[in-house]
Amino acid sequence: MSNYLAHSEPLHEGTLPGGHHWSLLMRRGKILRLIDTGGGANVGMLFYNPADKAERYNAPDTLKCQHTFKITRGHCLYSDMGRIFCSVVEDTLGWHDSIGGNLTDAALWERWGKVSYQEKRNDWQISGEHAFLVELAKHGMNRRDMAANMNWFSCVSVDGEGKISLKPGHSKPDSCVALRFEMDTLVLMHSCPHPLNQAASYPKAPVTYQVFSAKPVAEDDLCRNSCPENRRGFVNNVIYHQEAAS
Amino acid sequence: MIVESQLQTADARYSQIVEAGDYWLHFVGEGQTLRITDLEGNQAVDTLFYSAVDTAERYSAMDTIREQGNVYLTAGTRLISNLGHSMLRIVADTCGRHDTLGGACSAESNTVRYALEKKCMHSCRDSWLLAVARHEHFALGKRDITHNINFFMNVPVTSDGKLTFEDGLSGPGKYVELEAEMACLAFISNCPQLNNPCNAYNPTPIQVHIWD
């Protein structure tokens, strides 16, 4: 991780309590580092191009061009326009989910009941659906814009027959993952439970996020060179930024 | 799971050949049955569904996978909307497995997957974009073109988290049949991909039937 940082001190640090939501405009050349301080967190995340929000994270394009079902260090997250929003430059877990989707209001209420604002004030229990609808609306978007999201710190694996399962206890305290942004990106995030989490009570795990400046992408950068597809993805970003080919 | 249909094509109220590289956008009423036939084998049929009442409600790959607890689609699968409703149910399937992880081809993703010079080749997303532009009354746009089904495609996931593209399980005349549980718009791109060995680099026509 330190290899990727221009300075070791974060420019900004914040905390998202469990079951809450926020958004950030990440500039190109910055790193967003997420830390699951207490273990057991889930961070739902969506990505948009702030200059054209019709360009957004595309999970199928991301998975198929890297021949992967899981996301870990060395992978890139792609938009539907063949460009790279961010590269995963650090990961202590080895597996993050991008197919489990989002916890709906209906699933939340069925599993854990309704815990309202009137009853608990800001300790109420909300769904990832509620969280994303609010963050989408902040930026002039709605339900139609809710594509498949990332679920950081969660592992959903598949057996020989195609059955999926959420791995219990996957994320230990202080697990972290760091994303280096390769273009300006609007990041929507929430810390609501993974939709496959069947815990007896609504899990509330906080997440710390830090913003750093990144070093320039090196010729031998791991993410850029992890497959020929990513080398071409980086070229698409160079074309987008109208820079000279390196 | 292989399940054969009892329906006779002679009784269908609608029948249409969709050529490789063409789109097909059509209403399917609640209770109607839609059959898609892979006429020559190993063709990818990229398919989206919207509620005919409110197109903000649409097929959701992630909700479908999660609710059935399995990444592959076959007979018995309910196609779930982003609002958690069952849109259609797969009632017959002579292929046995269909993909909903691989998404659709686009000019832009082709530059990443194959070569930067492939950007001017026809793609599923271009077909869908042309369709929504020609049929403005549906008020659909690029952001509505979400994660689709690839009927007849075989995209196995390994236990260590790899996604692989295998030769298809399909063959000439294999079909999948869906009964609509709500009024839907069915939106097919019969895939024009020339770079993928899965279809032997030769996209071929399909046939759609609808029964009342």
Collapsed DSSP state (helix, strand, coil) of residue B95: coil
pLDDT tens string A79-103 = 999 999 999 999 999 999 999 999 9
Q: Is residue B98 part of a domain?
A: yes
Q: Is residue A167 part of a domain?
A: yes
Structure tokens at B155: 């995209």
Q: Domains in chain A: how many in total?
A: 1
Give this prediction's pTM: 0.97
User: Do residues A86 and A76 lie in contact, with contact meaning Cβ atoms separated by under 8 Å?
Assistant: yes
> Which of B98, B96, B116 shows the shortest CA–CA distance to B107?
B116
Number of helices (H) and strands (E) in chain A: give both, helices first.
Answer: 6, 13
pLDDT tens string A201-246 = 999 999 999 999 999 999 999 999 999 999 999 999 999 999 987 6
Question: What is chain B's pLDDT, residue by residue, as a tens digit (212 residues)?
Answer: 999 999 999 999 999 999 999 999 999 999 999 999 999 999 999 999 999 999 999 999 999 999 999 999 999 999 999 999 999 999 999 999 999 999 999 999 999 999 999 999 999 999 999 999 999 999 999 999 999 999 999 999 999 999 998 888 899 999 999 999 999 999 999 999 999 888 889 999 999 999 99
H helices present in A6-161, as ranges: 59-65, 105-112, 117-120, 128-138
Q: Give the C-alpha separation, A224 to A188, whole Å.
A: 24
* Residue-number span of the structural domain to which B23 is assigned: 13-211
* Interface touch B142/A54, C-beta < 8 Å: yes
- Per CB-CB distance under 8 Å, the chain A contacts of B165 are 64, 67
Give long-range contacts, CB 8 A cutoff, 24+ apart: A158-164.
A158/A69, A158/B71, A158/B157, A158/B158, A158/B159, A159/B159, A160/B159, A161/B70, A162/B70, A162/B71, A162/B72, A162/B157, A163/B69, A163/B70, A164/A99, A164/A100, A164/A196, A164/B65, A164/B66, A164/B69, A164/B70, A164/B71
What is residue B196's predicted lDDT score, i.e. its pLDDT? 86
Which DSSP symbol is given to A89?
Answer: E
What is residue A48's predicted lDDT score, i.e. its pLDDT? 98
Structure tokens at B57: 């409600």
Query: What is the ipTM, given to two decimal places?
Result: 0.97
**C-alpha radius of gyration, chain B, whole number:** 16
Q: Is residue A245 part of a domain?
A: no
Q: Give the C-alpha separation, A164 to A162, whole Å.
A: 6
> Which of A237, A241, A238, A245 shows the shortest CA–CA distance to A79?
A237
* Residue-number span of the structural domain to which A98 is assigned: 2-240
What is residue B199's predicted lDDT score, i.e. its pLDDT? 83
Q: Is residue A246 part of a domain?
A: no
Q: Domains in chain B: how many in total?
A: 1
Please tell me which of the candidates A147, A157, A163 has its beta carbon nearest to residue B161: A157
Q: Is residue B114 part of a domain?
A: yes
Please tell me which of the candidates A70, A81, A158 has its beta carbon nearest to residue B71: A158
What is residue B166's predicted lDDT score, i.e. its pLDDT? 82
What is residue B167's predicted lDDT score, i.e. its pLDDT? 80
What is residue B60's predicted lDDT score, i.e. its pLDDT? 98
Q: Is residue B51 part of a domain?
A: yes
Mind telling me how many Å the CA of A145 is from chain B's nearest CA?
6
Q: Is residue B5 part of a domain?
A: no
Structure tokens at A238: 């160079």
Interchain CB contacts (distance < 8 Å): A and B:
129
Q: Is residue B198 part of a domain?
A: yes
Which DSSP symbol is given to A217?
Answer: P
| CA atoms within 13 A of residue A20's CA, in its CB half-sphere | 15
Among A45, A77, A158, A163, which would you mutate to test the B interface (most chain B Cβ atoms within 10 Å of its Cβ)? A158
Q: Please name every residue paired with B162 in a beta bridge, in sequence order, or none if there are none.
A: A68
Mind telling me how many Å the CA of B10 is from chain A's nearest CA?
36
Q: Is residue B7 part of a domain?
A: no
* Interface touch B66/A163, C-beta < 8 Å: no
Under the banding of pLDDT at 50, 70 and 90, the label for residue A1 is low
Q: Is residue B69 part of a domain?
A: yes
User: Do residues A193 and A202 lie in contact, with contact meaning Cβ atoms separated by under 8 Å?
Assistant: yes
Q: Give the C-alpha separation, A222 to B184, whole Å.
A: 45
Strands B174-180 and B206-211: unpaired
pLDDT tens string A27-72 = 999 999 999 999 999 999 999 999 999 999 999 999 999 999 999 9
CA B121 to chain centre: 20
Q: Is residue B170 part of a domain?
A: yes
pLDDT tens string A146-162 = 999 999 999 999 999 99
What is residue A246's predicted lDDT score, i.e. its pLDDT? 65
